[in-house]
Amino acid sequence: MQKLVVRMGDVKGYSPANHHGTVNHRLIAPETVGPTPIELLHGSLEPGGLAQPHAHPGIAQICYLLEGRARVSCRGVTEEMGPGDACFFPADEEHSFHVVGDQPVRVLVIYTPPYGEDPAKVIKRS
């Protein structure tokens, strides 16, 4: 049966490939709500946490920062973001995400199409 409401406590957390100090919870995804063209994750990153430079083939990514500060890079541009800010990483483009300061980060991440956190889908460039 497909769920209408997915509670973070009901989905197992995992540490994604190429990330350090990160725990994600896949909330809206094919395995929780059935077929869907998007995926929504909640990510928690500890101070010093980061996503090393990487890309997702054919998968675009949006990050919406709930708490903390982060430095993001893509296409040769680096910017800092805080609560209420969003960033967009186009499909196939190398990007990175680093926690700034001594506060943890909480972030909502949207992938389209769904990523499914399959390490075979990650392109490592560095």
Question: 28 lies in a domain?
Answer: yes
What is the token pair recorded at 4?
């209408």
Beta bridge pairs of residue 105: 45
Question: 49 lies in a domain?
Answer: yes
Cα distances from 58 to residues 11, 48, 76, in angstroms, run 25, 29, 20
The pLDDT score that the predictor gives to residue 122 is 58
The pLDDT score that the predictor gives to residue 116 is 87
User: What is the C-alpha to C-alpha distance for residues 118 and 109, in angstroms, rounded to an integer?
Assistant: 16
CATH number of the domain encompassing residue 46: 2.60.120.10
The pLDDT score that the predictor gives to residue 17 is 85
Please give the average per-residue pLDDT across 63-70, as a whole number: 98
Question: 42 lies in a domain?
Answer: yes
* pLDDT tens per residue across span 41-65: 999 999 999 999 999 999 999 999 9
Split into its structural domains, the chain has a count of: 1
Question: 83 lies in a domain?
Answer: yes
Residues 6+ apart with CB under 8 A from 118: none
Question: 27 lies in a domain?
Answer: yes
What average pLDDT does the chain have?
A: 92
pTM score of the predicted model: 0.90
**What is the span of the domain harbouring residue 108?**
22-118
The pLDDT score that the predictor gives to residue 18 is 87
Question: 14 lies in a domain?
Answer: no
- What Rg value do the Cα atoms of the chain yield, rounded? 14
Could you write out the DSSP letters of every residue in 31-89?
Answer: HHHSS-S-EEEEEEEEEEEEEEEEE-TT-EEEEEEEESEEEEEETTEEEEE-TT-EEEE
Please give the average per-residue pLDDT across 103-119, as a whole number: 90
Please give the average per-residue pLDDT across 37-44, as a whole number: 97
Question: 101 lies in a domain?
Answer: yes
Question: 5 lies in a domain?
Answer: no
